[in-house]
Amino acid sequence: MSNRIGRTATAGFAAAIALFLVRASAATLPDDRTWLVRMISCKGNGVLMEVYLPQSVVFAPHGGMAAGKTADGFYTLDLTELNKGKDLEPVHVTMSADKKSVTVDQYTRGLPPTRIPVGGGIVDFDQRFGIGAKCGAFQAQDPNYGN
């Protein structure tokens, strides 16, 4: 009887790991023809955070990222100064309807979305490393960006 319970527990554990891996791998990477542009750079206490978007979003007609739209991008958390390396993770980036803020959703880790003013400001990303990060402006809003 205990052997059956052990096999059931092992199967349940394997299924949970499989579901976790499917969720994390569901994000698609850009293909060879896509390049990414750094749109936001933030600095915290010994850490750097950046958000990258595909060039097709950055240089879209009519002024870059459209109001109310969401694009897939990537977020980096550089912990090199803390001797922990640099991570790259997929994120959803949404421009607000009034184009005054962008929201970065770190959906693969289940963190709450981070709202960043387009002109820059102090925000909280990851509660472990990204508290009180000073972010620069969302650069696609600069009419001279990329020219």
| Per-residue pLDDT tens over the stretch 99-116 | 999 999 999 988 899 999
Residue (of 54, 62, 51) closest to 30 by Cα position: 54
Residue 24 has pLDDT above 80, yes or no: no
Determine contact, residues 105/91, Cβ cutoff 8 Å. Answer: yes
pTM for this predicted structure: 0.71
How confident is the model over 63-97, as pLDDT tens digits? 778 889 999 999 998 888 777 788 889 999 999 99
Q: Give the confidence band of 14 by pLDDT, cuts at 50, 70, 90.
A: very low
Distance CA(140)–CA(39), nearest Å, equals 7
pLDDT, tens digit, for every residue of 130-146? 789 999 998 755 555 54
Top-confidence residue, 20 or 106: 106
Instruction: Tell me which residue of 125, 144, 143 sits closest to 42, measured CA to CA.
Output: 125
How far is CA 115 from each of CA 16, 76, 138, rounded to the nearest angstrom?
31, 16, 12
Cα–Cα distance, 97 to 143 (Å, whole number): 19
